[in-house]
Amino acid sequence: MRGTLGYAFVLGGLLCAVFGAVVGIVGGLRRRPGTRAWVERATLGFFVCMLGANLTMVWALIAHDFSVHYVSQVGSRTTPLVYTVVSLWSALEGSILFWGAILGTYLVAFLRAQRSSRERTVELGLGAMLGVATFFAFLIAGPANPFGPVFPVPPDGPGPNALLQNDILMVIHPPMLYCGYVGMTVPFGIAVAALLDGRLGEAWLNALRRWTLVAWTFLTVGLILGSWWAYRVLGWGGYWAWDPVENAAFLPWLTATAFLHSTMLQERRRVLKLWTLSLALASFSLTVLGTFMTRSGIFNSVHSFTQSDIGPTFLVFLALVVAVSIGLLAVRGPQLAPEDTLPGVASRETAILINNLLFSALTFTILLGTVFPLVREAFSGVRVSVGAPYFNRMAVPLGIAILFLMGVGPSLPWGNASRDVWRRQFLVPGMAGLAVLGACLVAGLRGWAPLTTFGLAAFVATVTLRQLFLPALVRMKEKGEKPWTSFARSAARSRRRTGGYLVHLAVVVVFVAIAASSAYVQHTTGTLAPGQTLSLSGYTVRFVGLEQGEEPHRHWVAARLDVTEVGGAHGSLAPRMNFYERSTDPVGSPAVSSGAFGDLYLTLLAFGPDATGSPTASFNMWTLPLVGWIWWSIPLFVIGALVAAWPRRRALPVVDTEPAPARRSAARGTA
């Protein structure tokens, strides 16, 4: 029954999406009056249907309705409730269903934000987005239908993948990442609409930038949470492995970041229009590529879902998206010619241009490394693997160059800089960078990559803090305001700028944390009997004994360890192995002691009685300096993005700059 209901919702959603896409694009292109209302209704219909389908699935999961295909695959009577609900996105079909709900929510949000705008780009944009929705609804209705019937109905199911019910981060990491992925649909729709419409003024730029920023923020948080999840669950003492699917999520982040910078050039100088639009379209294409990589079953990755038949369908969609993007850019290209020229080398414009080149180079490098094994095998039949060394060798210098530009760009003025500016802007930050570099050398730290990163980080942090606080300082002097008031007011006056610099600070934090944790990681292993100890960089752990316990869906064995830090602080850690009823291999749970300056990370490798029958346990032990700062930077990223993107009170969307005409009755009817 639930299966039929859910499938009816899916078919309804598909119908709405097809109808809205056709009406939106045809109506928008022919400038038919009155079609907009129908597109809005179709959008709302799609949203309601997708929400209904998802709620039906959650209901079926909670009710353990094993007559529904998806529930019979991931459900289990012993799984705790929270993981039962979360299993909505723990396997292929459910994750695409969930995708549909997020897409519906985005479309309705876009509709609301643009409600007062009468531009036909809104109609065209909704049409393009519903075109994307059509594809996903088709996937859910056909190749990845989660609501199919199961007969005979099994009494119980296998439960979700053991790795996915091991950590609470699984509850928020995938939705965040999906919100980032799906969110790129909106900028794609806006860009397609602007290109279809042919009026390539600046009207669409604000909406494009803001919606990209929304998706970018979710993607950033999703990526960092994903690395945190890997760190807490997978137990290999790291957080980023250049896995194809990690790369797949990183690629659109890179192009979206480049886009957020190149829009500044387009606003200021009316240059790089073609390039900026290309980045917006590329970001969406790369999210589709990333989804394809995760779900086609042709990549070897910790993330890949089981082998499935949706790969070819996805590939056709990917080809279509790229073809439409390139076709539109080629047709409209002549209208996207630059209206101005760039100033000389020493200008912020040039810094942003180089930033874009570096981001593109990084995107290309990572894309190449990710797909190279497949391409090589397709063309020569030889299977190779591209490992972390390639990515590190390529990404580290490019990353350091980007960090350098983060300090140089904001220091340079728009337009040509005078010699004087150079000295005034770079003296203090440069000294700060050199001072930190010297301090690190004195402290005995070595290695060119981490030391360069630390020095540059100090340089960039100084530049950024000055940019953040200088306007406030000026206000304080001129108007005699209190520090906090003057900062709040100066920030409110230029929110995009303030938000951008807050994000820059967060990026500096992440750079330092990555450099420190990857360059100065320490590792040891050992097999201990009770009472024996293992020491590593200031930490000593003493094996106390084995513990075990039962939970409804698993049983576990833990090794209790007493931890003594160099300062004398005491603690206790217990890395575990979890045994799930329906999983052949045990799933480890590392134990992590997090501190402001670094983490102690322990995993249980093996346990058992030795020849005399007393318990022994083997451990992996790591110390990772500053690693926690990677995830603790999330609030700073979010605050910065919110400051930059929060809609201004009283302000209307930029697409609304025309004199406000009387509202059409049709639009009001659906609002």
Partner 1 sequence: MSGWSLAALAAVALATAALLFAFTSGFGRDPHEVPFILKGKPAPDFTLARLDTGEEVTLSSLRGRPVVLNFWASWCGPCQAEHPTLARAAQRYQQDARFFGVVFEDTPENARAFARPLDPSFPQLVDPKSRMAVDYGVSGVPETYFIDAQGIIRDKYVGPLLDAQELAGRLALLREAGGPGARR
Interface residue list for partner 1 (CB under 8 A)? 274, 292, 296-301, 304, 307, 311-312, 315, 318-319, 322-323, 326, 329-330, 333-334, 336-337, 371, 374-375, 377-379, 383
Closest to 278 (Cα-Cα) out of 300, 257, 259, 261: 259
Closest to 40 (Cα-Cα) out of 115, 116, 134, 135: 115
Q: Residue 526's beta-bridge partner residues?
A: 619
Measured from the CB atom, is 374 or 445 closer to partner 1?
374
Q: Whole-number minimum distance, CB 19 to partner 1, in Å?
A: 29
Residues whose CB is less than 8 angstroms from the CB of residue 214 and which lie 6 or more positions away in sequence, other chains included: 183, 186, 645
Place of tokens 């391409």: 375
Measured from the CB atom, is 374 or 667 closer to partner 1?
374
Query: What is the distance between the alpha carbons of residues 488 and 310, in angstroms, rounded to a whole number?
Result: 51
Measured from the CB atom, is 307 or 418 closer to partner 1?
307
Q: Is 572 within 8 Å of 598 (Cβ atoms)?
A: no
Q: Whole-number minimum distance, CB 252 to partner 1, in Å?
A: 15
Q: Whole-number minimum distance, CB 327 to partner 1, in Å?
A: 9
Closest to 147 (Cα-Cα) out of 59, 80, 79, 78: 59
Q: Is 618 within 8 Å of 525 (Cβ atoms)?
A: yes
Q: Whole-number minimum distance, CB 276 to partner 1, in Å?
A: 13
Token pair listed for 489? 């007011």
Q: Whole-number minimum distance, CB 330 to partner 1, in Å?
A: 5
Residue 68 DSSP label: B
Q: Whole-number minimum distance, CB 337 to partner 1, in Å?
A: 7
Q: Whole-number minimum distance, CB 372 to partner 1, in Å?
A: 9
Query: What is the distance between the alpha carbons of residues 568 and 434, in angstroms, rounded to a whole number?
Result: 34
Q: Whole-number minimum distance, CB 324 to partner 1, in Å?
A: 12
Measured from the CB atom, is 335 or 533 closer to partner 1?
335
Instruction: Give the angle 37-38-40 at the CA atoms, nearest 5°.
Output: 65
Token pair listed for 201? 């003024």
Measured from the CB atom, is 317 or 622 closer to partner 1?
317
**Which helix (H) or strand (E) element contains residue 602?**
strand 598-609
**Strand ranges (DSSP E) for 176-302?**
none
Measured from the CB atom, is 87 or 304 closer to partner 1?
304
**What is the secondary structure of 116-177 as a DSSP string?**
T---HHHHHHHHHHHHHHHHHHHHHHTTT-TT-B-SSPPS----S-GGGGS-THHHHHHHHH
Q: Whole-number minimum distance, CB 196 to partner 1, in Å?
A: 17
